[in-house]
């Protein structure tokens, strides 16, 4: 089966799989809506460790990363989520989810936050600034992902209090980069670009919010990983 989004991108999958979306806080409903557009995909909201058992993949949405981590700790989910990742089961983190999956993070609130880890990278929690600094831009499609083989040659990336990957280890594949403006470089220790989408084995992470656009190709890419 095949369907098209409003911007003409292809949204199809043949597999019949179940994708969970961590529904503690943040934009989980938007991810559910995108996954439900993909034929053969069942999506479920996840709030308990028992709900992780039968999933083919898990999305950790954007939101407030410290709040999300605190709720996950309080509900006893951190060890179960770490186990999910360590067993090689696919996880995609968007924005706050990217921070959650990183091995190292800077710019955290006092006291820090729990990290699941798994991605050999260092992220800056609010690299692009506060809510007022949110923006959107067009980025080239990542050729490494099958879901982007057809459709537009760019995708709309929405950055909302977004993190960025400052350092990535050899096991981490950079899928998309954002070139900093001169003004952004001046307050970023001279960095000319940062990674905003990465992949390592069973882990996918994006600093932007595909769930807030009409393009479902990132969701299709994750379904491809999970299937």
CA atoms within 13 Å, Cβ hemisphere of 119: 33
Question: Which residues, 6 or more positions from 198, have their beta carbon under 8 angstroms from its beta carbon?
Answer: 119, 121, 165, 168, 172, 173, 174, 175, 204, 205
Is 211 marked active-site? yes
The mean predicted confidence, pLDDT, of the chain is 89
User: Which helix (H) or strand (E) covers residue 100, if one does?
Assistant: helix 96-101
Cβ atoms of residues 163 and 178 within 8 Å? no
Percentage of residues of the chain with pLDDT beyond 70: 89
Q: What is the pLDDT of residues 177-195, one digit of tens each?
A: 999 988 787 677 778 999 9
Q: What is the pLDDT of residues 100-117, one digit of tens each?
A: 999 999 866 655 567 889
Cβ atoms of residues 208 and 96 within 8 Å? no
Rounded CA separation 204/196 (Å): 11
What pLDDT score does 109 carry? Answer: 61
Rounded CA separation 200/109 (Å): 26
Tokens of 164: 């960025």
**CATH code assigned at 172:** 3.40.50.880
In this structure, the number of other CB atoms found within 10 A of the CB of residue 57 comes to 24
Q: Catalytic: which of 177, 209, 216, 219? A: 209
Q: What is the pLDDT of residues 19-63, one digit of tens each?
A: 999 999 888 999 999 999 999 999 999 999 999 999 999 999 998
**Does the pLDDT value for residue 217 go beyond 60?**
yes
What pLDDT score does 49 carry? Answer: 92
Rounded CA separation 156/141 (Å): 10
| Overall domain count for the chain | 1
Q: Catalytic: which of 184, 211, 216, 219? A: 211
Q: What is the pLDDT of residues 167-176, one digit of tens each?
A: 999 999 999 9
- This prediction has a pTM of 0.89
Rounded CA separation 193/178 (Å): 6
Residue 221 belongs to domain spanning? 2-226
What pLDDT score does 12 carry? Answer: 46
Mean pLDDT along residues 61-82:
89
Please list the residues that pair with 178 across neighbouring strands.
Answer: 194
What pLDDT score does 191 carry? Answer: 87
Q: Catalytic: which of 11, 31, 95, 121? A: 95
């Amino acid at each position: 089966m095949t369907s098209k989004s409003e911007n003409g991108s292809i949204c199809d999958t043949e597999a019949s799989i179940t994708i969970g979306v961590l529904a503690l806080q943040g934009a989980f409903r938007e991810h559910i809506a995108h996954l439900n557009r993909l034929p053969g995909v069942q999506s479920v909201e996840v709030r308990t460790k028992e709900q992780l058992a039968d999933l083919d993949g898990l999305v950790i949405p954007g939101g407030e990363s410290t709040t999300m981590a605190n709720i996950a700790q309080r509900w006893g989910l951190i060890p179960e989520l770490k186990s999910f990742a360590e067993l090689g089961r696919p996880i995609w983190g968007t924005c706050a989810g990217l921070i959650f999956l990183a091995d190292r993070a800077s710019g955290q609130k006092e006291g820090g936050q729990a990290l699941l880890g798994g991605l050999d990278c260092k992220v800056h929690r609010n690299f692009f600034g506060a809510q007022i600094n949110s923006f959107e831009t067009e980025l080239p499609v990542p050729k490494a992902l099958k879901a982007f083989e057809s459709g537009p040659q760019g995708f709309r990336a929405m950055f909302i209090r977004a993190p960025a990957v400052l350092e990535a280890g050899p096991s981490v594949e950079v899928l998309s980069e954002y070139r900093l403006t001169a003004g952004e470089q001046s307050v970023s220790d001279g960095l000319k670009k940062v990674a905003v989408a990465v992949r390592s084995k069973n882990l996918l992470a994006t600093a932007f919010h595909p769930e807030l656009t009409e393009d479902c190709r990132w969701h299709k890419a994750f379904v491809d990983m999970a299937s």
